[in-house]
Every structure is written in structure tokens, then in C-alpha cells.
Amino acid sequence: MEVALVLHMNKGSGESSYAKNSTLQSKIMCLGKAAMEEGILKILKKSSIIPESMGIADLGCSTGPNSLAAMTEIVKVIEGRCCSLGRPSPELRLFLNDLFDNDFNNIFATLPTFYNRIRQHNKAPCYISAVPGSFYGRLFPTNSLHFVHSSSSLHWLSQVPKGLQSEERRMLINKGKIYLSKSSPQCIVNAYLEQFQNDFSLFLSSRAEELVSGGRMVLSFMGRTSSDPTADESCYYQWEFLGTALMAMVSEGLIEEEKVDSFNAPYYAPCPDELRNVIEKEGSFILDDVEAFPMEWDGGAVDHQQYTTVAELSRARGQRVTKTIRAVVESMLEAHFGTHIMDDLFKRYQDIVADYLSNASTKYINLVISLRKKETRGIMPEVIGYLKNILTLENYAFRK
């Protein structure tokens, strides 16, 4: 499976679209808001270092309202900061990145509303562009970005771990499962960890080239606090239950068993120590902060007061969770199993989730990390900013 070619959130704005079913991700994004604001304020900490032009990227922007909502917040913080320092705002270059098959048009259609919204806060010009491609590799010119934001995206790996791909191994070692399971042999656990380490390291080294010295990133994604990658909090059940639903369809002769054995999710929810190790080894960034936030499976979107019985509430929550998951994983499952089984598969999944939620209170863990690119040796950006200011003033005096 070529992840970069098959992974996309459900397109358009219909009932099963990501645009209509991404309130969980919107809540997750809000968890990173304080870190995002702090990161930007640190970039603009002195008036002498406010750049003329700022490059800002949202990586894994997908479709729907979330990415532009994040950009609106970022623009507001920059404008507020410049205003309080009595400096003109920099021109803003905003980049929306996602994989090639992403529904960028859905976002473009809402740009007029976005421009109207930010015009209330921002006086300086703002240029928006889409940048299709994988964030596991270079996307932007050298030293062109000041701030990178990404939410609910970095838990996707660039590919299914190599160790699981070979024909005879996958048949033997991950039978009946589509992700790490509590009974997975150590070699599968290692293969997932190694893929995550390689991917995240490549992500960091690519961004290190693109960010200016002292540039910052705030990244939020599914993770875990436990060192066990199959801990309940690591979104483990999301895949386990999809596997259970698929295997039920196998037993009824609706899918070939080989199809399930040969599918493995390109996903990994790391713990803080795994992140720290990669960041230290790669060496371009300083990890300023890591925070872990628990999140209800339904993002708290189902109002418990509306339901009189546990069964009704669980059904409503099962439905909500299924819509959210379907909008995210359907493209990948369709590419492997075919469109014809999707309704049946997600109906079964919904029942399994509802049953589970009737007597469990497992939460997802979302990690928010703040990173700063190490300053390069030589003339510090503060000094360059100071010199630029003097030159501008002298120029001005000379012209007068």
C-alpha cells in the first residue's frame, strides 16, 4: 500500500465527509492553542527581531474548517503581538500542506470567509498557498519558515513497517490483526517503533532545513503516556475493533482471510520518551515542552443528559465515534478491501464500539509538543535585526 497515494480524509461536505465529522480533531487542536500562542510570542519576543515576512505552515491540513481556524488564531496572535510592540505586522506567507489526494478545493472554497475574518485582525498582506506532498521529506525552500503547526496528523507513518510487508512473515506473525495487538510478537512491536523513529527523524531533519534559526514548531498527535504501545489509551482499540469486525466478515465468507492478514495500519502513537529519544538523536531541535491530554472517544460531543438508558447513550456514542473514524480511515480500507464492504464493516464496528463503551471509560491520549530549532552559530538573528533597524532608520533619515 502506497500511503501517500491512498490516504486522504473523506472528501467533500456530505454526511460522511471529514469536513462534517472532525469535531474531535477540532477539540484536539484547541488543546494545543496555548502552546501555539506561546511559541509565536517567543518568536516575536523583541521588536528588533520581528521579520518583514513570516512563513507559517500547517502540515496535514486535510479538509474542513480546522486548518483555517488554526491559521486564524496564529494571525491574531501575530497581529496582537506586533500591535503591543508598536511595530507593523510582517507580511504573512501561509502554507497548507497535505498529501496529493487531499481535498484542497474544499478548503479553498472557504478562503473568502477566512480573508474576511483575518482582515479584522491583520493589516499586513497575507498570501496563502497549498503545498501538496508528504511531510516526511522536504516541502519548502531552505530557511523559509518561522513557525510550523500540525495537529492530528503525525501519528500517520509514511508506510507500513517494512518487517510486516514480506509475504511469508505477515501471514505468520500478524494473522487476523490489522495493527499492533496485545498478543503481537516483539518483532512487530519493534518494526512499528523503528518505522516511527525513521519517519519522525526525517520529519525533523526536513523541517530543520526549512525553518529559520530559532524557528518553532507546535505539533499535536495521538500518543500515549504508557511505555506499552498496546496500552488502551493509544488508540489501540480503534484498530482492534476494526480487525474484529473484519474477521467477523471473514467468518461469514464476505472477505478473504488473506485480505485481513495482508492489511496493516500505517499508524503509531508514541510515548514522550520515544519522542525525546528521536529528537535528541536527530539533534536539530530543542524540546521545550511535552503535554499529554486525555480525550473522550467521542470528543465529548454526545450530550449524556439526552439519554435515559446506558444502552441508548452507548449507541449514540458508538455512532459518533464511528462517523469520526470512518471519515479518517475509509479511503485506506476501501483501497484494500473494496468499496462494497464499507457500510457493512462500519455498521459492525459501530455495534462493537457501542457495546464496549457501555461499560468502559477508556480515553485517547493526545500529545502536544513544542520544539525550537537550535540557533545556528555566527551572527545571532537579534544582531541582524538590530542592524537592519539601524540601516532602515538611516536610510529614512538620508532620504529626508
Binding-site ranges for ligand SAM (CB under 6 A): 7-9, 22, 25, 29, 59-62, 66-67, 97-99, 102, 134-136, 151-153, 156, 158, 328
State the minimum distance, in angstroms, from the CB of residue 29 to ligand SAM.
Answer: 5
Which CB sits closer to ligand SAM, 262 or 324?
324
State the minimum distance, in angstroms, from the CB of residue 178 to ligand SAM.
Answer: 18
Cα 293 from Cα 73, distance rounded (Å): 20
Which CB sits closer to ligand SAM, 55 or 60?
60
Q: Which residue is nearest to ligand SAM (CB)?
A: 60
Do 62 and 18 touch, CB atoms closer than 8 A? yes
DSSP-derived secondary structure for 298-340: TTT-S-GGG-SSHHHHHHHHHHHHHHHHHHHHHHHHHHHH-GG
Cα 293 from Cα 174, distance rounded (Å): 30
CA atoms within 13 A on the CB side of 395: 6
State the minimum distance, in angstroms, from the CB of residue 286 to ligand SAM.
Answer: 24
Which CB sits closer to ligand SAM, 250 or 295?
295
Which CB sits closer to ligand SAM, 49 or 328?
328
Which CB sits closer to ligand SAM, 7 or 260?
7
Give every CB contact of residue 7 below 8 A, 6+ residues apart in sequence: 99, 101, 156, 266, 331, 332
State the minimum distance, in angstroms, from the CB of residue 304 to ligand SAM.
Answer: 25
For residue 355, what is the DSSP state?
Answer: H
State the minimum distance, in angstroms, from the CB of residue 67 to ligand SAM.
Answer: 6
Which CB sits closer to ligand SAM, 69 or 189?
69
State the minimum distance, in angstroms, from the CB of residue 137 to ligand SAM.
Answer: 8
Cell numbers describing residue 44: 516575536
State the minimum distance, in angstroms, from the CB of residue 61 to ligand SAM.
Answer: 6
Q: Locate the DSSP E strands across 6-143.
A: 53-59, 91-98, 126-132
Which CB sits closer to ligand SAM, 152 or 184?
152
Cα 88 from Cα 76, distance rounded (Å): 14
State the minimum distance, in angstroms, from the CB of residue 87 to ligand SAM.
Answer: 30
Which CB sits closer to ligand SAM, 107 or 118?
107
State the minimum distance, in angstroms, from the CB of residue 381 to ligand SAM.
Answer: 28
Give every CB contact of residue 398 below 8 A, 6+ residues apart in sequence: none
> One-letter amino acid identity for 60?
G
Q: Residue 335's beta-bridge partner residues?
A: none
Do 199 and 156 touch, CB atoms closer than 8 A? no
Give every CB contact of residue 19 below 8 A, 6+ residues apart in sequence: 12, 13, 63, 64, 65, 106
Cα 237 from Cα 239, distance rounded (Å): 5
Cα 206 from Cα 327, distance rounded (Å): 29
Which CB sits closer to ligand SAM, 26 or 225?
26
